[in-house]
Amino acid sequence: MQQTLQLCYKGERDYLHGTDMYAAVTAALRPVVGPKISSLPLQIGIHAFARHQLNLVIDANKSPPTNVIATFKLGAETPLRGWLEETETAVDCRRPYPEEAIIACCALDGERICTNSPPPFSPIEIAVAMTKALHNHLLPPQERRWIFSRLSLRRIFRDDDVHPVEIQLLQNLNNRLTRSAIRVGDDVLGDIFFSRV
């Protein structure tokens, strides 16, 4: 299965955002897998910046090309695999992404950041913005920046996974790669990884 995506830049960025890649991947997988998707583990790795539109490919039997933007795997025993590959089609739209509105609903507490109220955004947007704010607070990137690079979930986000959300920094590898836990209420959803570039 292959599908050409129509994604927009977010805010002032000149590359496609990982939150939109997650949304596109889960939207494409849902009709293929059906209702059981909500209980399956999902892994997404983002390997490069994408400045053009993407093709989404689902192929359990084929290895991804070496120059893909992102790879994903759904399920554990017989996983469904795929990838995102960059095309030559320009991105011709842009939409706002006021991350500060998400952070205004949160509080920092040591190596954690927690929501005080539900931000009006999707769960993946909330998790990524919170993780970025936590990193900028604990590990200021100086002349570089922290970016969302990988997600490992026990299950995909549900629409109501917006509060209470907690992100806790668990591991920091030389200020280059980090792993943080994502919790929604009492449920540990998995880990989110950031890289400094």
How much is the average pLDDT of 116-128? 96
Q: CA quadruple 106, 190, 132, 101: dihedral positive or negative?
A: negative
Helix (H) or strand (E) holding 164: none
Residue whose structure tokens are 């907690």: 166
**185 pLDDT above the threshold of 80:** yes
- Count CB atoms within 10 A of the CB of residue 93: 8
Residue whose structure tokens are 């539900």: 118
Q: Distance (Å, rounded) from C-alpha 96 to C-alpha 81? A: 31
**103 pLDDT above the threshold of 90:** yes
Q: Distance (Å, rounded) from C-alpha 36 to C-alpha 59? A: 19
Tokens of 156: 């995909």
**Per-domain boundaries in the chain:** 2-95, 99-196
Query: Is the CB of residue 42 less than 8 Å from the CB of residue 66?
Result: no
**184 pLDDT above the threshold of 90:** yes
Strands 146-153 and 42-46, bridge-based pairing: antiparallel
Q: Pick from 67, 101, 102, 71: which is nearest to 87 by CA?
A: 67
How much is the average pLDDT of 117-140? 96
pLDDT of residue 61: 78
Q: What is the pLDDT of residues 8-50, one digit of tens each?
A: 999 999 999 999 999 999 999 999 999 999 999 999 999 999 9
Q: CA quadruple 161, 138, 190, 194: dihedral positive or negative?
A: positive
Q: What is the pLDDT of residues 52-66, one digit of tens each?
A: 999 999 987 788 888
Q: Distance (Å, rounded) from C-alpha 153 to C-alpha 41? A: 5
CA 32 to chain centre: 21
**143 pLDDT above the threshold of 90:** no
pLDDT of residue 84: 97
pLDDT of residue 64: 84
pLDDT of residue 193: 98
pLDDT of residue 12: 92
Q: Distance (Å, rounded) from C-alpha 68 to C-alpha 64? A: 7
Q: Distance (Å, rounded) from C-alpha 102 to C-alpha 130? A: 7
Topology classification of domain 99-196: Thiol Ester Dehydrase; Chain A (3.10.129)
